[in-house]
Amino acid sequence: MAPSKAGRAVTALPNPLRAADRQRLLMELERKVLWLSSWTIHHANHIRPNRDGLKVGGHQASSASVATLMTALYFDVLRPQDRVAVKPHASPVFHAIQYMLGQQSLDKLQNFRALGGAQSYPSRTKDTDDVDFSTGSVGLGVALTSFAALVQDYVRLKGLADTSTPPGRMVAVVGDAELDEGNIFEALLEGWKHDVRNLWWVIDYNRQSLDAVVSDRLYSHIDQLFQNMGWRVVTLKYGKKLERAFAGPDGEALRHWIDACPNSLYSALVYKGGEGWRKHLTGDLGHLPGIRAFLAGHDDRGLHEAMTNLAGHDMSSVLEAFHAIEDDQPTCFIAYTIKGFGLPFAGHKDNHAGLMNESQMAVFQRSMRVAAGSEWDRFAGLEASQGEIEAFLATVPFAASGPRRLKAPAVPVPENLPVPPAERQSTQEGFGRILSDLAAGDSALARHIVTSSPDVTVSTNLGGWVNRRGLFDRHARSDVFREEKVVSAQRWQMSPDGQHIELGIAENNFFSLMGALGLAEPIFGARLLPIGTLYDPFIARGLDALNYACYQNARFMLVATPSGITLAPEGGAHQSIGTPLIGLAQDGLTAFEPTFVDELAVLMRWGFEYMQAPEGGAVYLRLSTRPVDQPKRAMTPELHHAIVSGGYWLAPPSPGAELAIVCQGAVVPEAITAHRDILEDIPGAGLLVVTSADRLHQDWLGAKRAGARSPIESLLRPLAADAALVTVLDGHPATLSWLGAVSRHRVQPLGVEHFGQSGDIPDLYRVYGLDSDAILDAVARACLSRD
Where on the chain is the footprint of ligand TPP (CB under 6 A)?
62, 65, 87-89, 137-138, 175-178, 204, 206, 208-210, 339, 352
Burial class (CB in 10 A: 0-12, 13-18, 19+), 741: exposed
Which positions from 454 through 483 interact with Mg ion, judged by CB under 5 A?
none
- E-assigned strand segments in 479-588: 494-495, 500-503, 529-534, 557-560
Choose among ligand TPP, Mg ion, none what residue 739 binds, the Cβ cut-off being 5 to 8 Å by kind: none
Select the binding partner of residue 260 from Mg ion, ligand TPP, none (C-beta < 5 to 8 A, by kind). Answer: none
Shortest spacing between CB 478 and ligand TPP, in angstroms = 41
What is the torsional sign of CA 356, 361, 363, 369? Answer: positive
564: region left, alpha or beta (phi > 0 left; psi from -120 to 50 alpha) = left
Angle between helices 289-296 and 251-260 (to 10 degrees): 80
Q: Which is nearer to Mg ion, 336 or 364 (CB)?
A: 336
Please give the residues from 364 up to 383 whose contact with Mg ion meets the rule CB under 5 A. Answer: none
CB of 208 to ligand TPP, least distance (A): 5
Question: SS3 breakdown of the chain: % helix, strand, coil, rounded to 5?
Answer: 45, 15, 40
Rg of the chain taking only CA atoms, in angstroms? 31
**Secondary structure string (H, E, C) spanning 260-327:** HCCHHHHHHHHHHCHHHHHHHHHHHHCCCHHHHHHHHCCCHHHHHHHHCCEHHHCHHHHHHHHHCCCC
Shortest Å, Cβ 214 to ligand TPP: 7
The amino acid that residue 82 corresponds to is D
Q: Are 750 and 726 in contact (CB under 8 A)?
A: yes
Residues 37/370, Cβ–Cβ less than 8 Å: no
Q: How far apart (Å, rounded) are the C-alpha atoms in residues 200 and 322?
A: 10
Residue from 45, 145, 206, 499 in contact with Mg ion (CB under 5 A):
206
Name 238's bridge partners. 310
Q: Which of 23, 63, 183, 208: binder of Mg ion (CB under 5 A)?
A: 208
Single out the residue of 692, 426, 733, 725 nearest to residue 566, CA to CA.
Answer: 426
Instruction: Decide: 661 and 779 in contact? Cβ < 8 Å.
Output: yes
User: Binding to Mg ion (CB under 5 A): which residues in 86-115?
Assistant: none
Residue 186 is which amino acid? E
Which listed option, ligand TPP, Mg ion, none, makes contact with residue 533 (CB within 5 to 8 Å by class)? none
Task: Put the strands of the sheet holding 618-622 in their side by side order.
Answer: 494-495, 471-472, 500-503, 449-454, 529-534, 557-560, 618-622, 589-592
Give the residues across from 83 on adjacent strands: 170
> By CB under 5 A, how many residues form the interface with Mg ion?
5
352 binds, among Mg ion, ligand TPP, none (CB under 5 to 8 A by kind): ligand TPP
Nearer of residues 89 and 158 to ligand TPP, judged by Cβ: 89
On whether the CB atoms of residues 735 and 580 are closer than 8 A, the answer is yes
Task: Determine, following the binding rule CB under 5 A, whether residue 178 of this chain makes contact with Mg ion.
Answer: no
Shortest separation between residue 121's beta carbon and ligand TPP, angstroms:
8
| Strand-pair partners of 647 | 690
SS3 183: helix
Q: What is the rounded CA–CA span in Å between residue 658 and residue 723?
A: 4
By a kind-dependent CB cut-off of 5 to 8 A, residue 178 interacts, out of Mg ion, ligand TPP, none, with: ligand TPP
CA distance 32 to 378: 8
In the bound state with Mg ion, the residue whose beta carbon lies nearer, of 176 and 730, is 176
Binding piece for Mg ion, criterion CB under 5 A, among 19-27, 107-115, 176-184, 499-507: 176-184
CB 90, min distance to ligand TPP, A: 7
CB of 61 to ligand TPP, least distance (A): 7
CB of 126 to ligand TPP, least distance (A): 16
Greatest Cα pair distance, the chain, in angstroms, is 105
* Residue 782 CB, nearest approach to Mg ion (Å): 58
Q: Which partner from the list Mg ion, ligand TPP, none does 62 bind, CB cut-off 5 to 8 Å by kind?
A: ligand TPP
Picked from ligand TPP, Mg ion, none, the partner binding residue 264 (CB below 5 to 8 A depending on kind) is none
- Identify whether the C-beta of residue 200 lies closer than 8 Å to the C-beta of residue 331: yes
Least distance from ligand TPP to the Cβ atom of residue 91, Å: 11
Minimum distance of Mg ion from residue 3's CB (angstroms): 20
429 binds Mg ion (CB under 5 A): no
Task: Determine the residue type at 662.
Answer: V
Under the criterion CB under 5 A, does residue 176 sit at the interface with Mg ion? yes
Binding site partner of 28, from Mg ion, ligand TPP, none, Cβ cut-off 5-8 A by kind: none
Q: How far is it, in rounded angstroms, from Cα 211 to Cα 205?
A: 15
Name the residue nearer to ligand TPP (CB basis): 173 or 696: 173
Residue 153 interaction partner, one of ligand TPP, Mg ion, none, beta carbon < 5-8 Å per kind: none
User: From the list Mg ion, ligand TPP, none, which binds 604 (C-beta under 5 to 8 Å, kind-based)?
Assistant: none
Least distance to ligand TPP, CB of residue 341, Å:
11
Contact partner, 210, from Mg ion, ligand TPP, none, Cβ < 5-8 Å per class: ligand TPP
Q: Least distance (Å) from Mg ion to the CB of residue 127? A: 23
When the beta carbons of 87 and 197 are compared against ligand TPP, the nearer one is: 87
Binding interface with Mg ion (CB under 5 A) = 175-177, 206, 208
